[in-house]
Structure 1
Amino acid sequence: MITADNITAHEFIGLNTQIVESTNPQVIGLNGTIENETKSMFTINTENGKKSIAKSTSNWKFSIENNDIIVKGSKIAKRPFDRIGAKA
């Protein structure tokens, strides 16, 4: 089960997210469902189509158990299988 304490060690595909801070001001506020993940990118399905966004340049908001959790992209900019099972 994903919690605020272990979110960085879990799979992100299927989760809803929103960019709350970024080095690219044009993507702040972008939200949708994560459809794919690589070492450095999320592919997000938004209402305006799919967008690929670099993980490390943004802070990401996830809602887990009715709590908003902000995750720094630099903490999750790893290959998914290198991150899964790691300690947060």
Structure 2
Amino acid sequence: MITADNITSHEFIGLDTEIIQSTNSQVVGLNGRITNETKSMFTINTENGSKSIAKSTNSWKFSIQGKDVIVKGTKIAKRSFDRIGGRA
């Protein structure tokens, strides 16, 4: 089960997210469901279609068990199986 403490060790595909801080001010507030993940990018299904966004230049908000959790992109800019397999 995903919790606020272990979120960085889990799969992000299927989670809803919002960019709350970014080096690119145009993407702050972008939100939607993560539909794909690579080492350095999330693909997010937004109201305006799919967007591919770099992980590392943003801070991401997730709602886990009713709590908002903020994750810095630099902490998750790895391949998902590297994070999940404990090599993070």
Unaligned 5+ residue runs, structure 2?
Answer: none
* Distance apart, 1:85 and its partner CA: 3.9
Give the match for residue 72 of structure 2.
Answer: 72
1:75 and 1:17 mapped to 2: Cα distance? 16
| Residues 22-73 of structure 1, C-alpha deviations (whole Å, 9 max, x = no match) | 0000000000000000000000000000000000000000000000000000
Contact 1:22 1:28 in 2 (8 A): yes
1:47 and 1:85 mapped to 2: Cα distance? 33
Unaligned 5+ residue runs, structure 1?
Answer: none
Runs of 4+ aligned residues of structure 1 deviating over 3 Å after TM superposition are: none
Give the match for residue 43 of structure 2.
Answer: 43
Q: TM-score, normalised by structure 1?
A: 0.97
Query: What pairs up with 1:12-23 in 2 under 5 angstroms?
Result: 12-23=12-23
1:9 and 1:46 mapped to 2: Cα distance? 24
Q: TM-score, normalised by structure 2?
A: 0.97
Query: What pairs up with 1:25-64 in 2 under 5 angstroms?
Result: 25-64=25-64
Q: How many pairs does the alignment contain?
A: 88
3-state SS in 1 of match to 2:26: helix
